[in-house]
Structure 1
Amino acid sequence: MTDTVTLALTAGEPAGIGPELCLQLAAEERSAGLVVIASKPLLEERNRDLGLGIVLEDWAPGSVAARAPGTLSVLHVEGLATTAAGQLNTANSAYVLDTLSVATRGCLNGLFDGMVTAPVHKGVINNAGIEFSGHTEFLQAMCGVERVVMMLATDELRVALVTTHLPLSEVPAAITPARLTQVARILNQDLKTYFGLEQPRILVAGLNPHAGEGGHLGREELDVIEPTLEALRQEGMTLTGPLPADTLFTPHWLDNADAALAMYHDQGLPVLKFQGFGRAVNITLGLPIVRTSVDHGTALDLAGTGRADMGSLRQAVQVGERMALCQKRMGGQKLASGNKASNV
């Protein structure tokens, strides 16, 4: 068993801060090998403009990825059109998706132990006529899995979501026994596989205020959530809830838990981002590969200035490395094949 990993790092939207964050990160000491998946001329230009002095080395399969401070391995991707920091160009959309495809295939083929993604700009990709709802859905399709789970994490808190980018009016109907069961199983399994937790302790939020208050403020807890959680406990999971979300995120509960499972996006993530914005990591669970990302966007106004904070990218790399190492120590265990999409 090796105690080192190699991570693919996609540089994201070329007009945003992703390319320079990759370069700034390369100036630091690191234990993981990084291979930036991007246009090499773009990195050379941003490197020169910011006076960073990073040595860019071409990487090919079988090569050892650079780890020394001041060096960066690059897997060049063609297709970048003319670009300038802070100025979006729809002509670059296919190139951005190609970087994601190269990194994902590399992980699936064993070239990389995981992938870390810098931010992309969903709007400009869609404006190019390419339907794109985000990294998560793109990777889900490429990996051929039926369900993925979004989890954001800091060193102190992990919050996973049953539903993600849905209008609030559509959330109750989306919380079905089947969906809740699948999400909870993925969360429980991946906390074992990637975080080394033998028996994960998961807090589960209710949907309604006061977790429905015995049915007086909604019946989803009584009709869906409680019966589903009880069935999952019979499988051996350690699940507490449904709990009122306004008190779940307090030391009384969190001090004895490994993760919280929120029913919808803005139920759990505001708490986590208040607690650790800029050092939080977006993790996609349910994939057969390790994937982490930053908790921020492309920050076009900061692109090319050298003032962007790389704290979240640094954390994403560190968490991705720890997840990949843990998976290796677990013997390369992957998610059960029951999460494979039926049409793949």
Structure 2
Amino acid sequence: MENRQPVRVGISIGDVNGIGPEVTIKALSDNRILQDCSVVIYASTRTLSFYKKAIKEHDFQYQSIKTADQIDPRKINVINCWGDDLRIEPGQKTEAGGKHAFLSLEAATADLAANKIDVLVTAPISKETIQKAGFQFPGHTEYLADMSGVAEALMMMVSENLRVALVSSHIALKEVPEQLTKEKILNKIKALNTSLKRDFKIVRPKIAVLGLNPHAGEKGAMGQEESEVITPAIQAAKQEDILVNGPFPADGFFGSEARKHYDAVLAMYHDQGLAPFKALAFDSGVNFTAGLPVVRTSPDHGTAFDIAGKGIASETSMRSAIYLAVDIYRNREFIREIEANPLQSQPQNNKGRD
């Protein structure tokens, strides 16, 4: 295993005025992260030099390359996506910040599509500023689904054995009930089940599904979605031999012992899943876009303009995002090898057999 090729990790820098450059530099300053990967940062050497000096991270070393074809293995490589005329204003929401975040993302996803990098880690963007630059999606998840030709991706938050996926993500709360259908929830359950097997190597995943209403509807007293939509979807999934239970009341589930018996939780909407997840794992959490042919992860925090450039942003989530992307790529690689050699069985104990 020591001779295997390092995973090529592309990093889009996010909004240059947010904490993306800072947490990227900090996460990569420990060279141990390069033992199993080669890194390509899509930004500019001037941008990285600016933040390296601002946060006094002197151990951060990198080299400039023109294209991803020139990646130096187990090193930090930088592709210049723009010139030196960008005015960097830490903490400020500017149109330039959004424009250059989009330039970075476009360059990184182009190389991902061309198989010049293996995985993509996205630093945080400001949806407000990047949309002014022509980005026409609610977020990274929807953008990458469109790029991959997938109707709808699955947003999943990951921290060690805590995994929370969403049926609906970046929509207004008032639109959630009308978005929930038996078919959509069933598809999300199936996508989550597949991801747990393929991306996390869990042979028989156990999935918990949350209700939409308080007390999971209280048998219809607080809403009909559980009985009319969610439960039928769960029953249909069980018919397909998926180990899934629910709907569980969302308010107490994450604090209960029941959570420990499941490999993942499927929440109905954004804050129902992300609020408890971030309360439990804010520093270490990773946003993973499941259901795509490509691997994409991201820190679970935003641009944090209020602390940008001050040297106090935690890099833990970015580091976890890099490690998780590499792990998922390796897991998929393992599955591909097994499927390519169906007659290659694992060693078995034949003791006692004829």
**TM-score normalised by L of structure 2:** 0.87
What does 1:172-321 align with in structure 2 at a 5 Å threshold? 172-321=177-326
CA contact (8 A) 1:327 1:333 kept: no
Q: Which moved more, 1:217-226 or 1:49-58?
A: 49-58
1:247, CA displacement in angstroms? 3.3
1:160 alignment partner in structure 2: 165
Amino acid aligned to 2:96? A
Using a 3 Å threshold, how does the CA distance of structure 1 residues 89 and 332 change in structure 2: closer, same or farther? farther
Q: 1:47 aligns with which of 31, 47, 52?
A: 52
Separation in structure 2 between the aligned mates of residue 280 and residue 91 of structure 1, nearest angstrom: 29
| Aligned residue in 1 for 2:17 | 15
How far off its partner does 1:333 sit? Answer: 9.7
Paired AA for residue 68 in structure 2: P
Once the two structures are TM-superposed, the CA of residue 65 in structure 1 deviates from its matched residue by 4.1
- 1:78 has 2:82 as partner: yes
* Alpha-carbon separation, structure 2, partners of 1:253 and 1:63: 50
Report the equivalent of 1:338.
none
Question: Who wins on radius of gyration, i.e. which is larger?
Answer: 2
Relative to 1, partners in 2 of residues 1:332 and 1:262: Cα closer, same or farther, differing over 3 Å? farther
- Structure 2 distance, partners of 1:219, 1:299, is 39
**Displacement of 1:82:** 2.1
Q: CA RMSD in A?
A: 2.2
- When the two structures are superposed, what TM-score results if normalisation uses the length of structure 1? 0.89
* 1:56 partner letter: Y
> How many residues are matched?
331
- Please, which moves more after superposition, 297-306 or 235-244? 297-306
Other-structure match for 2:27: 25
Which segment is superposed worse, 299-308 or 78-87?
78-87
Query: How do 1:132-151 and structure 2 match up within 5 A?
Result: 132-151=137-156
- Unpaired runs of 5+ residues, structure 1, are 335-344
Letter in structure 1 aligned against 2:264: A
CA deviation digits over 1:207-256, x for unaligned, max 9? 12222222222221111111111111111211011122233324432221
Segments of structure 2 that go 5 or more residues without pairing to the other structure are: 340-354
SS in 2 for 1:255: helix
Larger deviation: 211-220 or 257-266?
211-220
1:90 CA drift (Å) = 0.7
Post-superposition shift, 1:316? 0.8
Q: CA deviation at 1:280?
A: 0.6
